Every structure is written in structure tokens, then in C-alpha cells.
């Protein structure tokens, strides 16, 4: 087992770690440390997820890693939203191939060993209103994801949709009527005054009125 793999197994509770962690765990020059990292990756013991971000691979990891865990780490501050969040909440039937997130920063896309991570800019304040922390089933692996109503408002804002009711949600996104009926007044209250997007605000107002929430 590579020296880095041993250190990561010993010190990383999640199996996920950064290059800064590597420098703390390993003695020697940058060149020698980088050589150890490359050998660990080449041996298939470590996965290089993104610049400066790694995880233990396969049998070396105590956890079954969910790629959603990496979304907040690759580019942030951010949270998973739109179709990916709706799929997580089982509001839409489709499997979403990329992990879609919202950030205050510029839109970006990253191709990684775990797949594509897309980030969309949606101007709002505060960023994490209507966002919850979800567990992957194994502590301490968690990630931030938009609640369904926030995921919909983000979708409307990002895609510039002039939607003001439930019909396009059911027809375009194939959301079941029963799911929309589950929304509560507290879900709408949580997002009041959050969005700068006029479309998002009109969507939330129109949907709330139509649902009688």
C-alpha cells in the first residue's frame, strides 16, 4: 500500500481529502510528495477527483462514495439544485447525468473521473435559504441540496422561464401533481425576498396563489 494511501486511511474520516492534507501528512519536498501522489493514483489506490481534491478508491475506502458529496467541494460556495435536486427528491423520473449545482460565482463546468459537474449562477441572498444538508446514508458524508421548491425557482431563474403556475411543471418537467400538493406555506415563506430574478419571484407568487398556500 502506498504511503499516502496509508495516511489517508488513517486520518481521513470520509476518505476524501485535499492536497493541503497531503502536505501535512507527508514529509519531504513538493517534488517527492507529488511523486508519492502520482504513484498512489497510478496504483489505483487514490482517485484524483479535481484539482487539489482526492479520495480513497475502492477497497481502500470505508464508505461507498456518492458523487453528490463532491459537488460542494469542487466549486463553491454552492449547493445541488435544479434537475439533480429534483431527482434526489424523486420529483422527476429522469436520471440526471451531470450533477447540477447553483453558485454565486460564474457558471462553470468540470469534467472529472466521477462525471460532469455543472454550476449555474443564480443571484440571490442569502444563498442557502431553502437548502438542506443531506446524508448519503453513511456519516459523516453529507452534501447541500436545494429543497424541491427552491430547485424549481432556480430552474426558472436559470433557464429564463416565464412560468407562473403548475401546468408547465407537470408538462415540461413531468412532476406529479401529488408532489406539488405536498408543498407547504413554510416552503414559500422561506424564499420570500431571496431572488433577484423577476421570473423567479413571479413564479413563486403565481404557484403559491394557484396552490392556495
pTM: 0.92
83 with 113, same domain: the answer is: yes
Here the CATH number for the domain that contains residue 23 is 1.10.10
Structural domains in the chain (count) = 2
11 with 96, same domain: the answer is: no
Cα 5 from Cα 172, distance rounded (Å) = 46
pLDDT at 120: 97
Q: 182 near 211, Cβ under 8 Å?
A: no
26 with 55, same domain: the answer is: yes
Q: What is the pLDDT of residues 202-212, one digit of tens each?
A: 999 999 999 99
38 with 138, same domain: the answer is: no
18 with 83, same domain: the answer is: no
* Structural domain containing residue 53: 3-60
28 with 109, same domain: the answer is: no
In the structure, how many helices (H) and strands (E) does the chain have? 10, 9
* Residue 74 banded pLDDT, cuts 50, 70, 90: very high
pLDDT, average across residues 7-25? 94
87 with 185, same domain: the answer is: yes
138 with 161, same domain: the answer is: yes
Cα 8 from Cα 35, distance rounded (Å) = 16
Amino acid at each position: 500500500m502506498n504511503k499516502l494511501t496509508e495516511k489517508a486511511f488513517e486520518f481521513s474520516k470520509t476518505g476524501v481529502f485535499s492536497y493541503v492534507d497531503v502536505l501535512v501528512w507527508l514529509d519531504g519536498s513538493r517534488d517527492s510528495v507529488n511523486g508519492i501522489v502520482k504513484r498512489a493514483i497510478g496504483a489505483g489506490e487514490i482517485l484524483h477527483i479535481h484539482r487539489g481534491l482526492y479520495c480513497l478508491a475502492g477497497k481502500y475506502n470505508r464508505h461507498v462514495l456518492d458523487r453528490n458529496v463532491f459537488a460542494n467541494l469542487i466549486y463553491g460556495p454552492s449547493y445541488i439544485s435544479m434537475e439533480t435536486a429534483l431527482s434526489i427528491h424523486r420529483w422527476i423520473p429522469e436520471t440526471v447525468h451531470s450533477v447540477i449545482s447553483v453558485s454565486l460565482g460564474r457558471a462553470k463546468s468540470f469534467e472529472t473521473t466521477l462525471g460532469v459537474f455543472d454550476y449555474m449562477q443564480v443571484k440571490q441572498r442569502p444563498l442557502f435559504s431553502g437548502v438542506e444538508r443531506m446524508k448519503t446514508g453513511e456519516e459523516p458524508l453529507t452534501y447541500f441540496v436545494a429543497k424541491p421548491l427552491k430547485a424549481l425557482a432556480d430552474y426558472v431563474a436559470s433557464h429564463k422561464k416565464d412560468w407562473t403556475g403548475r401546468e408547465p411543471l407537470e408538462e415540461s418537467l413531468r412532476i406529479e401533481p401529488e408532489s406539488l400538493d405536498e408543498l407547504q406555506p413554510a416552503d414559500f415563506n422561506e424564499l420570500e425576498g431571496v431572488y433577484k430574478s423577476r421570473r423567479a419571484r413571479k413564479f413563486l407568487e403565481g404557484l403559491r396563489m394557484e396552490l392556495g398556500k
